[in-house]
Amino acid sequence: MEGFKVLIGVDEALRMLKESVSFTPEIIEVKVRDALGLPVAEDVVAPTDVPPFDRSAVDGYAVRALDTLGATLLNPIRLEIVGEAEAGSDPSKLPRVGEGQAAVIYTGAPLPPGADAVVMAEDTERIGNYVNIKRQVTPFANVSRKGEDFTRGEVVIRRGWKVQPWHIGAMASLSITKVKVYRSIRVAVLSTGSEVVELEDPRAGSPGTIINSTKPMLISMLESDGFEALDLGTVPDDVEIIEERVRQGIKEADAVITTGGTSIGAHDLVPEAVSRLGKVLFNGVRMRPGKPTGAGVINGKPVFMLSGFPVASLAGYMAFVKPTLRHMTGTPEEPLPVVRGKITRRIANVAGVRTYLRARAYVNERGELMVEPLAITASGVLRTLTDANALLIMNEDIEGYDTGDEVEVVLLSPILQS
């Protein structure tokens, strides 16, 4: 393989990836409780009204609002109690509330026929079979109307939305037991490098070895984003072995991520292995960290060739892996959690390069949101990730920022207090 003769821009590289991938997401039907985190494959429509009837939102008395006109603490209106409505009652078997009448009612109970409002218990006084109403109410006061939550035929969850815990609650309220979702995309992750060993490897810690921290980080990111990860292990710098392991990944998964072996050098063999199996789309991007990032396509499936350095691989994941995988399922991009703050020191950018800068976002003693840039180099330094809670993305047309400039950052974790 030849070196980085031409570096491609981030946006152009992502466009090429999306256009080159051929993937039809598999639709499966699962129980609602098993759908958490999966994107729905079609609009989920309410089959009925929720609630299915007008019901009381409080404990009190079901009345005709007109009968409470003028009621006050000093001038209560007396109504005759004609029955009782409990939660779970059959609406057709409840007593009718006529003029001058009321019915005891409990939270969640259907509104009896004839009644159009509920007076809270604390605004009443019961005297035998009568109740004194001490507050005037308007029609449908303290009543949850039929269809107030969901109306029959209304779209409850739109196609492509990931199922959240509250969606499961909504579907349960609608008596929906199963839902069609897209199967989780399966991504195989392979690390390369003769010097790289797994944490459990007996050689870990031996002179000349590097414990693999990038692969477990990427697998965790995939799983936290709702994808299924397949660990292909770590292989030495041998193009034949790399080729065989990538072939296995393509067979068993929908996409492959490799780490390491992408730079210009005798032992950077991943692009060569990928080219034997398919097509390398690009090998080198105008970004930092992550310049050696590349990608290819094998049988319509994407192969993301990321740096072996943790910070650079994180940048590659955010720039290419996650948006491409979302594209494959046809689901919309999830907006990033962005906040604005003042930068604490001057930083410069390289012309024409997109920079992913780790940063620390915090609130100072004056209540201002501040952004402290961390190391702009050292793509393998994990410490800058553990210290960072934000990412400052400087686009290609940004020359830099001066101290005190307002910048936008993507939050990776909660904002800190100074």
Taking only the tens place, the pLDDT of each residue in 164-180 is 999 999 999 999 999 99
At 228, which CATH number?
3.40.980.10
Both 363 and 377 in one domain: the answer is yes
The percent of residues in the chain predicted with pLDDT above 90, rounded, is 79
What pLDDT sits at residue 365? 92
At 163, which CATH number?
3.90.105.10
Query: Which residue, of 329, 357, 387, is where some domain finishes?
Result: 329
pLDDT single digits (tens) 203-214: 766 777 787 889
| Averaged pLDDT of the chain | 92
The percent of residues in the chain predicted with pLDDT above 70, rounded, is 94
Both 202 and 258 in one domain: the answer is yes
Both 188 and 320 in one domain: the answer is yes
Both 317 and 195 in one domain: the answer is yes
At 408, which CATH number?
2.40.340.10
Q: What is the mean pLDDT of residues 133-147?
A: 97
Q: Residue 118 — φ and ψ, nearest 5°?
A: -130, 130
Residue 377 confidence (pLDDT) above 80? no
32-36, 192-196, 240-244, 383-387: which range is least confident on average?
A: 383-387
Q: Are 252 and 188 in contact (CB under 8 A)?
A: yes
Both 158 and 243 in one domain: the answer is no
Q: What is the mean pLDDT of residues 9-35?
A: 95
Per the domain annotation, does 22 fall within a domain?
A: yes
What pLDDT sits at residue 1? 47
Q: Are 150 and 49 in contact (CB under 8 A)?
A: yes
Q: How many CB atoms lie within 10 A of CB 179?
A: 22
Residue 80 confidence (pLDDT) above 60? yes
Per the domain annotation, does 322 fall within a domain?
A: yes
Per the domain annotation, does 278 fall within a domain?
A: yes
What pLDDT sits at residue 267? 54
CA-wise closest residue to 280 among 232, 231, 193, 268? 268
Both 323 and 206 in one domain: the answer is yes
Q: Are 125 and 132 in contact (CB under 8 A)?
A: yes
The DSSP line for 246-281 is HHHHHHHSSEEEEES--SSSTT--HHHHHHHHSEEE
Q: What is residue 203's three-state secondary structure?
A: coil
Both 264 and 394 in one domain: the answer is no
- In 44-98, DSSP assigns E strands to 44-45, 55-56, 60-63, 77-85
Both 35 and 172 in one domain: the answer is yes
Residue 88 falls in which region: left (phi positive, over 0), alpha (psi -120 to 50) or beta = left
Residue 183 confidence (pLDDT) above 60? yes
Residue 54 confidence (pLDDT) above 90? yes
Q: What is the mean pLDDT of residues 98-105?
A: 98
Both 159 and 202 in one domain: the answer is no
Q: Are 183 and 28 in contact (CB under 8 A)?
A: yes
Question: Rounded CA gap, 348 and 194, in Å?
Answer: 36
What pLDDT sits at residue 209? 79
What pLDDT sits at residue 341? 95
Per the domain annotation, does 101 fall within a domain?
A: yes
Q: How far apart are the first and last CA of the chain?
A: 49
Per the domain annotation, does 1 fall within a domain?
A: no
Its pTM surpasses 0.85: no
Both 282 and 388 in one domain: the answer is no
- Interior CA angle at 414 toward 413 and 415, to 5°? 120
Using H for helix, E for strand and C for coil, what is the string for the chain? CCCCCCCECHHHHHHHHHHHCCCCCCEEEEEHHHCCCCEECCCEECCCCECCCCEECCCEEEECHHHHCCCCCCCCEEEEEEEEECCCCCHHHCCCCCCCEEEEECCCCECCCCCCEEEEHHHEEEECCEEEECCCCCCCCCEECCCCCECCCCEEECCCCECCHHHHHHHHHCCCCEEEEECCCEEEEEEECCCEECCCCCCCCCCCCEECCHHHHHHHHHHHCCCEEEEEEEECCCHHHHHHHHHHHHHHCCEEEEECCCCCCCCCCHHHHHHHHCEEEEECECEECCCCCEEEEECCEEEEEECCCHHHHHHHHHHHHHHHHHHHHCCCCCCCCEEEEEECCCEECCCCCEEEEEEEEEECCCCCEEEEECCCCCCCCCHHHHHCCEEEEECCCCCEECCCCEEEEEECCCCEEC
Both 35 and 61 in one domain: the answer is no
User: Chain-centre distance of CA 84, in angstroms?
Assistant: 46
Confidence of residue 265 (pLDDT cuts 50, 70, 90): low
What pLDDT sits at residue 336? 80
Per the domain annotation, does 393 fall within a domain?
A: yes
pLDDT single digits (tens) 302-341: 999 999 989 899 999 999 999 999 999 877 777 788 999 9
Confidence of residue 360 (pLDDT cuts 50, 70, 90): very high
Residue span of the structural domain in which 165 resides: 29-50+149-182
Dihedral angle sign, alpha carbons of residues 294, 298, 302, 307: negative
Both 216 and 125 in one domain: the answer is no
Confidence of residue 387 (pLDDT cuts 50, 70, 90): confident
Cβ-Cβ contacts under 8 Å for 373 (sequence gap 6 or more): 343, 344, 345, 347, 357, 358, 359, 392
Q: How many domains does the chain have?
A: 4
What pLDDT sits at residue 52? 94
Confidence of residue 264 (pLDDT cuts 50, 70, 90): low
What pLDDT sits at residue 198? 76
Question: Rounded CA gap, 229 and 211, in Å?
Answer: 20
What pLDDT sits at residue 380? 47
Question: Rounded CA gap, 260 and 269, in Å?
Answer: 9
Per the domain annotation, does 2 fall within a domain?
A: no
Per the domain annotation, does 5 fall within a domain?
A: no
